[in-house]
Structure 1
Amino acid sequence: MSWKNLLKWGFFAALLLLGARYLWVHSEDFSKMVEIRPVFLPFLLLTPVFFIGLLGILNKSLVEAFGIRLTFLEWFGLQCITNFGNYLLPLRGGAGTRAAYLKVKHNFPISSFLSTMGATYLINTFLAGAIASVCIVWIGDRVEHWGMTLTLLLGASFGLLLLMIFPFPFRFPDRGFFQ
């Protein structure tokens, strides 16, 4: 058996042992899972898959802007590995595995990867803000005190999100300060 195969199986065994340890330490949490009504199980199981798919499509679209076309197995599998790495490794280590894969397989520069990663975080932040804004407005109808500052802040965030989704062409003037 070669060192490479031995290393693969050793890593797999270590992951299995860590998973078993997690199940043992948190067994009381898993006993609470019996209390979940079966009607909600498909929703609970399919929601993470849906979000992994959305993030995979987002990353696929961003990488296509640089001329790299990913197959379904690549963009979906890469997002699954990225999410898994983010849970296991510190400091968003899953992004590092995605960068390494794109660098080795498609010769994608790290600087371009960092720009796609920044765009992903920006889009995710604004989408989370928009969803939170809708939830706060929905809850705000039931709350007596509603601040004008919060309303303006959420409105500005939502406006920026719309500008990101539907950008308008902007051209600097030919003369003046921007020349």
Structure 2
Amino acid sequence: MTKHRKKQSNTEGSIRIIGGTLRGRKISFPNIQGLRPTGDRIRETLFNWLQPDIGDSRCLDLFSGSGALGFESASRGAAEVVMVESDSHAYMQLKQQAELLKTSVCKLHHQTAQQFISSAQGHFDIVYIDPPFSAQLWASIADSLVLQSLLHAGAKIYLEQPRQMAIDTLPPSWFLLKEKQAGDVIYCLFEYQPGAKS
């Protein structure tokens, strides 16, 4: 009697880098709860926004997940990309991908965003904030970045949020530059202007 094995579910997903020196290279990521790789259309719009700023920039990807934003930044000429991920499985996959892509500018940290912020040094030119939507960490992360003085004047901050969820008040020094919607996701680009008051 022939036994039929059940097909195993695919434990990984993949996306491709869409621009720069690594264009077309595949990024694999684990299928874990809360991990939402930023899609091609949104990434294309975002990096069009960031085109004047990305070259030789210091970037911070606080909820790196699949690595879509961090590796895309490296591909497009960022001088340093700090990628922070708290999930062990996702972190190990990021580490493997960085080795496969030979992206020496990527620096990986296995810790929470708040843990990283509390001990980080220096300033960043571009910051990506795309946490699991259920965690609702946008406002607390934004405040911490300002309090820890991790942003250069004029730094760009990218933020993704669900359309149906209002974000608590962001720092008055964050000025909205761009905002678009794709499906149920709203994505925004802010500029940090220190000393500004509401």
TM-score (norm 1): 0.28
Quick one: higher RCO (CA 8 Å, sep 6+), 1 or 2? 2
Task: Give the structure with the higher percent helix.
Answer: 1
TM-score (norm 2): 0.26
